[in-house]
Amino acid sequence: MAAPPPPPPAPAQSSAPAPTGPSARNHGYSRKQKSLGLLCSNFLGLYNRDGVTSIGLDDAASRLGVERRRIYDIVNVLESVGVLARKAKNQYSWKGFKAIPNALQELREEGLRENICNFDGNEDPKASLGLQISDDEDDVERCGSQQTENSSPNLNIKPMNPKSDNRREKSLALLTQNFVKLFVCSTVEMISLDEAAKLLLGDAHNASVMRTKVRRIYDIANVLSSMNLIEKTHTSDTRKPAFKWLGLRGKEEVPQETKKRAFGTDITNVSSKRGKVDSSIGGKLDGQKQKGLVGEADRSNLEDSKDGSKSYQFGPFAPVTIARAGTGSTRKVHDWEKLTSTYRPQYQNQALKDLFSHYTEAWKTWYSEVAGKNPIRIS
């Protein structure tokens, strides 16, 4: 792989238990520091900048201090929404957030074509959602097995043979796309976890299958929420976990970071083993209040952005402040059609770049401090 930057005592991919140096401190280990969402935020912070066109998985893994397996996870969902495109083995090309609108548009069209949509939040979704969500096991009857295959340019994973199609069918990427279609193709703004699970799996006749899929949904949701495409919440009534679509608009309300898990508010996934904390790195991070690199930069930029009197709309990273636009209580924010056409153009504006450069600057600063004085090098 590339010259491994000295920083993170490289958590061995999956080798020996890497005896965490001097007895791990007290700032005990916390899963939050290793969430997929956080990892994704860091990943984006690392690569979302000018000049980055190609991303090497090994490079990403070592920079982020995680094993490849985790990189595959985020890369798969990022690819599903167009941010990345597989180029070759170990190589992905960075498309950036500006590619999201198109990707979503395509997913939408695809979904409409497949007749996935139009279910109303309240009704029994399964009925209307014609998702090609065959449940495994007896799924052999994959519908069309290719629907996803022939459209989206970068949403796709190569054309596979019918056999591997089976695998593809259960892939995180497909699940992600279908999950997104749920929102993009309908007018619902919020979908509860189990609703989503059912929609994406058909009625889980099998509890274990369901549990597994739910795990996947959590995975997906974590990265999507780190991009602010969705927000984790819970149904007002039942309090059941749910996901709110933020899509290309902003949020209208600050997602209280105080919530259980505030993705993108902490930095790094440095240590590796569960139950361990890299004393050196972890400690420093701790001390430096690695907080908010992403989340905050994000938010603060919102400020900067408002200055950006330039009429530009924020995308996934929409500043909370700005997003307040339609404070209407009952906004069924889903004029997708309008949104896409409206946002697409603006997406490629300078302001967005500024926002991210600021954002990455913060990361860089932290990185060089914590990780050792070495500047970041993008492959």
Nearest to 37 by CA among 93, 82, 1, 77: 77
Q: Is 312 in the site for DNA (CB under 7 A)?
A: no
Residues 37-96 that bind DNA (CB under 7 A): 37, 57, 66-70, 72, 75-76, 89-91
Q: CA-based Rg of the chain, rounded to a whole angstrom?
A: 20
Q: Is 205 in the site for DNA (CB under 7 A)?
A: no
Task: List the one residue from 273, 281, 301, 355 that touches DNA (CB under 7 A).
Answer: 273
CB of 320 to DNA, least distance (A): 21
When the beta carbons of 204 and 322 are compared against DNA, the nearer one is: 204
CB of 54 to DNA, least distance (A): 13
When the beta carbons of 112 and 160 are compared against DNA, the nearer one is: 160
Q: In DSSP terms, which residues pair with 55 in a beta bridge?
A: 92
x-marked contacts with DNA along 106-135 as a string, rule CB under 7 A? ------------------------------
x-marked contacts with DNA along 130-149 as a string, rule CB under 7 A? ------x-------------
Query: Across the beta sheet with 241-245, what order do the strands follow?
Result: 190-192, 241-245, 230-234
Dump strand ranges (E) for the chain.
Answer: 54-56, 84-88, 91-94, 190-192, 230-234, 241-245
Output the six-digit token pair for 326. Answer: 């339609």
Output the six-digit token pair for 214. Answer: 């739910």
Output the six-digit token pair for 47. Answer: 């690569």
When the beta carbons of 72 and 115 are compared against DNA, the nearer one is: 72
CB of 172 to DNA, least distance (A): 4
Helix-helix angle 207-226:36-47, to 10 degrees: 30
CB of 74 to DNA, least distance (A): 9
φ, ψ dihedrals at 21, nearest 5°: -5, -140
When the beta carbons of 190 and 209 are compared against DNA, the nearer one is: 209
Q: How far is CA 137 from CA 53, 55, 195, 200, in A?
A: 39, 35, 20, 14
CB of 95 to DNA, least distance (A): 16
> 358 and 296 in contact (C-beta within 8 Å)?
no
Among the residue ranges 34-42, 298-306, 328-336, 346-354, the one whose residues contact DNA (CB under 7 A): 34-42
x-marked contacts with DNA along 159-198 as a string, rule CB under 7 A? -xx-xx-xxx-xxxx-------------------x-----
Task: List the one residue from 114, 219, 231, 298 that touches DNA (CB under 7 A).
Answer: 219
Q: Is 221 in the site for DNA (CB under 7 A)?
A: yes
SS3 of 86, please?
strand
Task: List the one residue from 20, 228, 269, 301 that touches DNA (CB under 7 A).
Answer: 269
When the beta carbons of 273 and 334 are compared against DNA, the nearer one is: 273
> CA-CA distance, 320 to 318, in Å (whole number)?
6
Q: Is 34 in the site for DNA (CB under 7 A)?
A: yes
Task: List the one residue from 218, 304, 353, 368 that touches DNA (CB under 7 A).
Answer: 218
> CA-CA distance, 75 to 313, in Å (whole number)?
26
> 134 and 201 in contact (C-beta within 8 Å)?
no
Q: How far is CA 310 from CA 63, 299, 301, 314, 333, in A?
A: 35, 18, 14, 11, 23
Helix-helix angle 100-113:172-184, to 10 degrees: 80
Among the residue ranges 105-113, 153-161, 356-364, 370-378, the one whose residues contact DNA (CB under 7 A): 153-161
- DSSP states of 43-56: HHHHH-STT--EEE
Task: List the one residue from 274, 307, 309, 375 that touches DNA (CB under 7 A).
Answer: 274
CA angle 349, 351, 356 (to 5 degrees): 110
Binding site for DNA (CB under 7 A): 14, 28-32, 34-37, 57, 66-70, 72, 75-76, 89-91, 136, 157-158, 160-161, 163-164, 166-168, 170-173, 193, 208-209, 211-212, 214-216, 218-219, 221-222, 232, 234, 241, 260-261, 269, 272-275
